[in-house]
Structure 1
Amino acid sequence: MQQPFDIELGGVIYSVFPEEEDVYTIFKEGEEYIKIQKDTDQHWLKLDDETDLPLFTEDQEVDNIGRAISEYKEEETDEDQISE
């Protein structure tokens, strides 16, 4: 399982905790904030706090966090391939 990591967007630090595949719990400034799930490469979904079901609403912040997660994972994969 992937280890938690931090990303920074617009001066805000988000701590990312991988859950199951393509699902992440996000902490914003030390507080549990949202849970998100990958829908497509460019679109991510916020999960309902109580049911964990995807909410099909447009949310630019969720998409930005998701893209940053994808970029982080790509960098991590590239580093793993270099060290082999």
Structure 2
Amino acid sequence: MQELQEPFDVLVNGVVYAVFPEEDNVYTIFKAGAEFGKIEKDTGNVWLKLHPETETPMFDNDAEVDAIGQAIINYVPEEDDEDDEDFE
């Protein structure tokens, strides 16, 4: 079973999006504190926004969704240094 990632923020075109990873390449996205919706990685650089009620993919080319998806792909989590005792 794959361990779920911790939520993280990405910056896209000057806007901070909070990303909450779920299962199977699905992410719940918040924009400016409000729920933007769920997005899912399809193929390559294609990302799909999921319908808010049915959670089925909506096949409309959405540049904002693709940009958020690309930021998710490029996101590198900060390493947790267990040996880092500088914060005592």
Do the two structures share a fold, i.e. TM-score over 0.5? yes
| Equivalent in the alignment of 2:68 | 65
Q: Sequence identity, in percent?
A: 58
Once superposed, which parts of structure 1, at least 4 consecutive aligned residues long, lie more than 6 Å away? Answer: none
Alignment RMSD (CA, Å): 1.6
The CA deviation string for residues 28-82 of structure 1, in whole angstroms up to 9 with x for no partner, is: 011111110000121000000000000011000000000100111xx34xx69xx
Answer yes or no: is the 8 Å Cα contact 1:41–1:67 preserved in 2: no
Bigger Rg, which one: 2
Report the 3-state secondary structure (helix = DSSP H, G, I; strand = E; otherwise coil) of the residue aligned with 2:45.
Answer: coil
Match of 2:54 among 51, 54, 62: 51
Q: Which amino acid aligns with 2:14?
A: G
Where structure 2 has 5 or more consecutive residues not aligned to the other structure, the ranges are 81-88
Greater helix percent: which structure? 1
> Equivalent residue for 2:29?
26
Distance in 2 between the 1:26 and 1:33 partners? 5
Q: Normalising by structure 1, what TM-score?
A: 0.85
Count how many residue pairs are aligned between Structure 1 and Structure 2.
77
How far apart, in 1, do the equivalents of 2:44 and 2:17 lie? 19
SS at match of 1:13: strand
Specify the SS of the correspondent of 1:52: coil
TM-score when normalising by structure 2: 0.81
Extract unaligned runs of 5+ from structure 1.
none
Is residue 37 of structure 1 aligned with residue 40 of structure 2? Answer: yes
Q: C-alpha distance in 1, partners of 2:44/2:9? A: 20
